[in-house]
Amino acid sequence: MFVSAIIAAAGRGARLGSAVPKQLLEIDGRSILQRSFDIVDGHDRIDEVVVALPSDLARATPPILASSRKPVHIVDGGERRQDSVASAFAKVSKRADVVVIHDAARPFASRALFTRVIEAASEGGAAIAALAASDTVKESTTAGGARVVARTIPRHAIYLAQTPQAFTRAILAEAVRVGGEHPDTATDEASLAEQAGHAVRLVDGEPTNIKITTPADLSVSEALARSLDPESGSSIAATRSSMLPLRIGTGYDLHRLEPGRPLIIGGVRIPHATGLAGHSDADVLCHAITDAILGAVAEGDIGQHFPDSDPTWKDADSVALLERAVQIVRASGYLVANVDAVVIAERPKLLPHVPAIRARLAKALGVELSAVSIKGKTNERIDALGRNEAIAVHAVALLARSLQAGA
């Protein structure tokens, strides 16, 4: 089953009264848009992402909307939500069986919630996350200039709609058509699907899946971000005993040296008679560190994400690949705490280049300079490394859960 995700992020958030677009406001160090994007980017059931942005943001796409895992498309949003979704839907792959739609302003939805909604839509055609009303529900009217209760509605029948909402491709196409013909009749795609005659399943939503609309919501979100596990939406206090906040990964790489190639180690070009052979720029240090941080979150290795069979990565800058791996790590709820690597090379001497290498890697990893350790060793003239035929690297990385690291 091919699943496409649409992130509706074209609103300006006028009710927040901020000079910065709402989706770019930060909650505990990460923007609202990044938090929502990371959810769908990191979901293994979602195959592509389409993001609807205000036209000015669409022209200068925020770098956080980059993925090494799946295609990401950016489209201009419209004045209304349904216009934005229609624009995004036009960009969805023809292969899509199910399309899941999520408001960027709900940055705390769990991946488990997405899974439940996608599965319900694949079975029944349409499904939404929704919360059963827990308070007594009153319908109001106006009498004598005052607002009064018109009637009390049985709350067992009342559900409060959330996103994600998911639909088969055919049903969403009908909903988009209805929205175009009757532009002022709905506030979400589920109601348009209802108008088209389709039953929409209700999937239990999450109380923490709040929509950020007002300054008060933003304040609540700050507290929520510090108290929730970003992976599952469950309390950190409840999961701390069963889930360690630290992960360790190891990486190893080796490349042959050959004439006619530049020698690039840790993003720094080093003068030498030979360079490292490989499909990309063959930066052996970046490759080993990339494997270490991916391994720490059980996300495979560099070959899975950037295969040498793909011409996209021909002569690629390995620092850029490392930065993409860092995004994958963050989507898994972790941050790099520190890395330590040993470069095994008979020649050239690495010591003069270590300061520049550390600085380049620290920037790519998003850590302080003191969190990057690089050491150079020889192989005492033993084997291919000792004969200066190749360079190898051993790397280890420590990752910390993002909330523990204050992000």
DSSP symbol at 127: E
Instruction: Give the pLDDT of residue 17.
Output: 60
Whole-number Å distance between alpha carbons of 392 and 128: 51
What is the mean pLDDT of each successive set of 10 residues along the chain, which is 407 residues long? 95 65 85 92 93 90 84 91 92 96 94 94 96 89 92 90 96 92 79 94 92 85 70 40 69 91 92 87 93 92 84 84 90 89 92 93 90 91 87 93 45
pTM: 0.58
Instruction: Give the pLDDT of residue 175.
Output: 93
Whole-number Å distance between alpha carbons of 40 and 51: 11
Classify the C-alpha dihedral 170-176-182-184 as positive or negative.
positive
Residue boundaries of the structural domains of the chain: 3-239, 246-401
- Decide: helix, strand or coil at residue 174: helix
Q: For the domain 246-401, what is the CATH superfamily, name and number? A: 2-C-methyl-D-erythritol 2,4-cyclodiphosphate synthase (3.30.1330.50)
Mention every residue, 6+ apart, whose C-beta is less than 8 A from residue 292. Answer: 249, 250, 251, 339, 395, 396, 397
C-alpha distances in angstroms, 147 versus 142, 231, 257, 406?
4, 43, 80, 45
Instruction: Give the pLDDT of residue 365.
Output: 92
CATH of range 3-239; options 2.30.30.230, 3.30.420.40, 3.40.50.970, 3.90.550.10: 3.90.550.10
Provide Rg for the chain, Cα atoms: 25
